[in-house]
Amino acid sequence: MKALILVGGFGTRLRPLTLSVPKPLVDFGNKPMILHQIEALKEVGVTEVVLAINYQPEVMLNFLKDFESKLGIKITCSQETEPLGTAGPLALARDKLADGSGDPFFVLNSDVISEYPFAELIQFHKSHGGEATIMVTKVDEPSKYGVVVMEEETDKVERFVEKPKVFVGNKINAGIYLLNPSVLDRIELKPTSIEKEVFPRIAADNGLFAMVLPGFWMDIGQPRDYITGLRLYLDSLRKKAPAKLASGAHVLGNVLVHETAVIGEGCLIGPDVAVGPGCVVEAGVRLSRCTVMRGARVKKHACISSSIIGWHSTVGMWARVENMTILGEDVHVCDEVYSNGGVVLPHKEIKSSILKPEIVM
């Protein structure tokens, strides 16, 4: 089986992290976002993953070459010269996806984090015999999204309603699809939306079915959702693989600490924290609802909450970093500095406090 991951554009909503690497390579739960997806695809027998990309393909491929051999899966790029929307990339990669086997192929949005129940999805797709399956997830506020209206008994999709003003349902497209190769014949090589143009046509032909995603789901393409997604991901690890989480007197709730990270005396870490490879957390530090990425250092008695600390950054002694502060790569916050929602571009030194949310260039 094959899979296409829609990597797409510049990841502007996750800047300043995406100024250093393409968005799918930003760490989430101590490994690049896209690796969560590739590992799950490999588990259900996918042999080739095609990345649909229009930005820095060489950076992505160089990085993923290591994982190709480790995971034993082929990773290739299909590069757009102009943005092709969410369906155009399928037409561009047609030769890679339609290999003559007749097997369905996966399509994923690269921002989506979930438990990736791909085995159940394959089973469901085979059972209904339709042309395409989309995964849907239930949300509390459907008016912010495009809602999928489906027949409860048959799981057949009837129609899509964009940002409904009145309640028509609470299931939205989760950005995970399993499609028969015949879907490729419906797509022209031009900018096209799979959600607004292709799926409604398949639904009109009674060939589109929806499976409700079990477990959690989050689009982690922006910082606030990234932090929420981390909480949901760690919750899921607690249920499925609790041994991966840290434990001890200094740990509160769900915490993921890489084996190469060093944690000092008298720290309190958690809930919902990820500490990446090679990080140093000195004595007396308080961390909650945050990610500390590879090679970062948090000095004595600093306090970090609801923030993202980028690669190789430093937070000084007695510093306080909170309220969706995002430090890009190699940012140095000096001792006793306060950051309230500062978004700091890479390679900066912060010598004075950031008292209200602002971008520091």
**Final residue in a domain of this structure, among 217, 251, 286:** 217
Query: Which of 54-58, 110-114, 218-222 is most confident?
Result: 110-114
Tell me: do 260 and 323 sit in the same domain: yes
CATH, residue 6: 3.90.550.10
- The mean pLDDT value for 118-137 works out to 92
**Final residue in a domain of this structure, among 161, 190, 217:** 217
Say what the pLDDT of residue 90 is: 82
Q: Per the domain annotation, does 282 fall within a domain? A: yes
pLDDT in tens, 146-183: 788 888 888 888 888 888 788 888 898 888 999 999 88
**Final residue in a domain of this structure, among 169, 187, 217:** 217
- Ranking 176-190, 250-264, 304-318, 328-342 by mean pLDDT, the lowest is 176-190
Q: Per the domain annotation, does 155 fall within a domain? A: yes
Asked whether residue 275 carries a pLDDT value surpassing 90, the answer given is: yes
- The mean pLDDT value for 263-290 works out to 96
Provide, rounded to the nearest whole percent, the portion of the chain with pLDDT above 70.
98
Tell me: do 198 and 340 sit in the same domain: no
Tell me: do 352 and 270 sit in the same domain: yes
Q: Per the domain annotation, does 224 fall within a domain? A: no
Q: Is the pTM of this model over 0.85?
A: yes
Nearest-CA neighbor of 203 among 133, 124, 278?
133
Tell me: do 291 and 261 sit in the same domain: yes
Q: Which domain holds residue 186?
A: 1-217
Amino acid at 245: L
For 197-203, which contacts have Cβ atoms below 8 Å and span 24 or more sequence positions?
197/87, 198/87, 199/132, 199/134, 199/157, 199/160, 200/159, 200/160, 202/131, 202/132, 203/156, 203/157, 203/158, 203/159, 203/160
Q: Per the domain annotation, does 190 fall within a domain? A: yes
- The mean pLDDT value for 304-316 works out to 96
Nearest-CA neighbor of 86 among 14, 8, 172?
8
Tell me: do 194 and 269 sit in the same domain: no
